Amino acid sequence: MRNFQRSVALVILFCHLKVVHLLYLDPDTTLVPACSRASAEEVELARTSDRVKNTPQKPRTSEDSILIPSSPPPLEGLIIKAPHKRAVRTKSNIEEEVTKCYAETLQNIIRWGSQFKECKANQLEIMKKVKNLVKAVSNIFRKKIDELREEEYELKRNTGPLPNDISNLIFTQWENIWIEEIQDISSIWESLIHQDSSNHKKIFSSGIYLITNIFTDLEKHQLVTKESLIFSMNNMNGAKLISDYAITQFFHVDGLRMEDIYTNFDLKLSLQESPFTGKMQGLLMFLNQETWKLIEFEYITSQLGITKIDSHHVPAGFNQIKFKFGALALSNNKGIADISLVEFLEKLVIYISQSRFTTQNPREFRTKLIVYKNLYDMLRFLMRYTAQETVEKFMKKIQDLNLFEEIYTFEEAIGLLGSITHSYKDREDEFWNKCSQTHKPHPYLMDGNQNRKISSFVTQDFKDNTKDICDQEQFNERINEFDSMIQSSISETLYQNPTNIALSIKKCKEQYAKFYIHWKILLKKQSNGSSFKIFITKFQKFIFTFLTEKAKKHQNYTRLIE
């Protein structure tokens, strides 16, 4: 056990020296190994106490105390009393984990900071912010390690120790300052983001990854209070941090393909359930509705800009819809009247209801399907985050326009393609898990297939009333045909987790049944010349073409194994 403690202490000390060397930090920075720092701490605390007593009029600097940051609250006159030394004891597992995480975090900061050597930017300003980051992280970890050792800091004025509740309040204020200093590091890459350089982009991406990991560790190891994290994530820069993380870690460099945006059917659910975001799911539980709104808005608008769309095949009017969405989506923050939102929702629904799908070009098919998913994302966003009163006005409007069935069928169609791409993504994962130990798929966003909700509207369940809507024999025939095609590439040899695959197929069948029923309702309701009716009918045919393409691809997987 002592060897472990000594090893971790050496790692942290090594990290300290590397930070000083690579980031030009003052050696007096508060980065002393938490495992073996008692004497150094006492010297530093004594120095701090002398400074406070001898120069009370002088502002306290960032080096004056190991626990007072560069911009402390108005706490002049407070000093910190070093914890009493205790007998040597066995380290708990939790303490070992926290100490190890501390060392790894410092190493990660070193790796990230070393990228600035070739960066054309204000080096002094950057190093100052990185220094504050190191100090804030160090203070947070060291305070937690002392708590685990059952050692406490005592705050006092000249008249004596402060009451515990006052001390706790002060530490909470300091926690918030340290967290703010961690978040402030984002100002570095924000100043670089518009510089078209692969190195700058790497700094941005790896910086987001670094800070997100620090925040997930704050939550995982309870390094700060739950209240401090909730405040930080919802009132400071948490929404930007999460949206930037989703964009930098899950967008493909060459753009998003049709399968990408349909697999990530619901961003909020995907972030909460994706296998690639497991570490941060505890942190996501702290986000409130307004923060999720900001995250989804940033992601959708970024997706609209990076999606791989052939400009020659973009439907007329789509770019105007995109622009209007960007202006109105955050209307609650900008004071735009509800009437503007209702008008835009009406325009959006009318645009969807006039969808055309007449081309036989497969490439154009996919381009338009990307556009329709973008339209779906805009609609769902507004339905999810718009005030209930405004939604009710909109619902009345589409009922008056007799467009309810069109928009509902549209949602079920998009949901069907999303369920199918989800199912085949599951199969690809199973294939690579079985046949390749070295292949690492590009990280992707996808929900867990349990809580996905397709429609934003409430309607009756037609599950037991299909005979009143369409011919039962024909309905069963189509369902069986769909079932046969989506299972055509299934092989027991291919999949290690057939239960997971079976669940995804079940979801697809249920979604196809819902889509088919609403398609039949639409056929009875609309005239033969309706553009939306033609679109949905062609979409229904495309689904079977898409299934055939996917089946061929996955049959090749089977042959590779067998």
In a domain, 229, yes or no: no
Cα(487)–Cα(551) distance, rounded to whole angstroms?
Answer: 8
- The residue ranking higher by pLDDT, 342 or 66, is 342
**For residue 15, how many other CB atoms are within 10 A of its CB?**
23
Counting the structural domains of the chain, the total is 2
Can you spell out the DSSP letters for 87-155?
Answer: ---PPPHHHHHHHHHHHHHHHHHHHHHGGGGG--S-HHHHHHHHHHHHHHHHHHHHHHHHHHTT---EE
Count H helices and E strands in the chain, helices first. 22, 3
pLDDT for position 113: 84
Q: What is the mean pLDDT of residues 288-306?
A: 90
* Of 546, 433, 424, 435, the residue nearest 489 (C-alpha): 424
| Of 190-194, 220-224, 274-278, minimum mean pLDDT range | 190-194
Decide which of 160, 178, 206 is a domain's last residue.
Answer: 206
What's the whole-model pTM score?
Answer: 0.81
Q: What is the mean pLDDT of residues 451-473?
A: 69
pLDDT for position 380: 92
The pair of structure tokens assigned to 72 is 């402390």
In a domain, 180, yes or no: yes
pLDDT above 90 as % of the chain: 25
User: Are the C-beta atoms of 98 and 141 separated by less than 8 Å?
Assistant: yes
Cα(424)–Cα(402) distance, rounded to whole angstroms?
Answer: 36
Q: What is the mean pLDDT of residues 275-288?
A: 92
Q: For residue 140, give its domain range.
A: 2-206
Q: What is the mean pLDDT of residues 355-382?
A: 82
Decide which of 145, 172, 206 is a domain's last residue.
Answer: 206
How many CA atoms, within 13 angstroms, populate the side-chain half-sphere of residue 204?
19
pLDDT for position 65: 37
- The residue ranking higher by pLDDT, 196 or 412, is 412
In a domain, 89, yes or no: yes
| Of 59-73, 227-241, 468-482, minimum mean pLDDT range | 59-73
In a domain, 288, yes or no: no
pLDDT for position 389: 84
In this predicted structure, the answer to whether residue 559 has a pLDDT above a threshold of 60 is: yes
In this predicted structure, the answer to whether residue 222 has a pLDDT above a threshold of 90 is: yes
User: Are the C-beta atoms of 374 and 303 separated by less than 8 Å?
Assistant: yes
**Of 311-320, 324-333, 384-393, 436-445, highest mean pLDDT:** 384-393
**Of 56-60, 407-411, 494-498, 536-540, highest mean pLDDT:** 407-411
Cα(116)–Cα(382) distance, rounded to whole angstroms?
Answer: 41
What 339-343 contacts at long range (C-beta under 8 Å, 24+ apart), as own/partner pairs, is 341/382, 341/386, 341/390, 341/394, 342/390, 342/393, 342/394, 342/397
Cα(314)–Cα(370) distance, rounded to whole angstroms?
Answer: 9
In this predicted structure, the answer to whether residue 217 has a pLDDT above a threshold of 90 is: yes
- The residue ranking higher by pLDDT, 146 or 98, is 98
Decide which of 206, 226, 254 is a domain's last residue.
Answer: 206
In this predicted structure, the answer to whether residue 84 has a pLDDT above a threshold of 80 is: no
* Of 38, 203, 28, the residue nearest 111 (C-alpha): 203
Q: Would you place residue 434 in the very low, low, confident or very high pLDDT band (cuts 50, 70, 90)? A: confident
In a domain, 62, yes or no: yes
Instruction: Give pLDDT tens digits for 386-409.
Output: 888 888 888 888 888 888 888 999
- The residue ranking higher by pLDDT, 454 or 551, is 454
The pair of structure tokens assigned to 250 is 């899950």
| Strands, sheet with 160-161, edge to edge from the N-terminal-most edge strand | 79-81, 154-157, 160-161
pLDDT for position 69: 39
How many CA atoms, within 13 angstroms, populate the side-chain half-sphere of residue 102?
32
What Å distances lie between residue 350 and 295, 325, 403, 458, CA to CA?
27, 15, 8, 19
**Burial tier of 92 (Cβ tally within 10 Å: 0-12, 13-18, 19+):** exposed
In a domain, 518, yes or no: yes
Q: What is the mean pLDDT of residues 237-256?
A: 85
- The residue ranking higher by pLDDT, 42 or 235, is 235
User: Are the C-beta atoms of 376 and 326 separated by less than 8 Å?
Assistant: no
In a domain, 263, yes or no: no
Give φ, ψ of 160 to 5 degrees.
135, 180
pLDDT for position 310: 61
- The residue ranking higher by pLDDT, 375 or 433, is 375
What Å distances lie between residue 134 and 129, 173, 216, 317, CA to CA?
9, 18, 17, 50
Longest Cα–Cα distance of the chain, Å, equals 94
In a domain, 133, yes or no: yes
What Å distances lie between residue 33 and 37, 39, 145, 146, CA to CA?
6, 11, 11, 12
Mean pLDDT over each residue of the chain, to the nearest integer:
76
Look up tokens 């001898």; give the residue.
54
* Of 141, 140, 109, 142, the residue nearest 126 (C-alpha): 109
Instruction: Give pLDDT tens digits for 44-64.
Output: 333 333 333 343 333 333 333
Q: What is the mean pLDDT of residues 110-129?
A: 79
317 by DSSP, 3-state: which? coil
- The residue ranking higher by pLDDT, 454 or 39, is 454
Give φ, ψ of 248 to 5 degrees.
-75, -30
Q: What is the mean pLDDT of residues 304-316?
A: 70
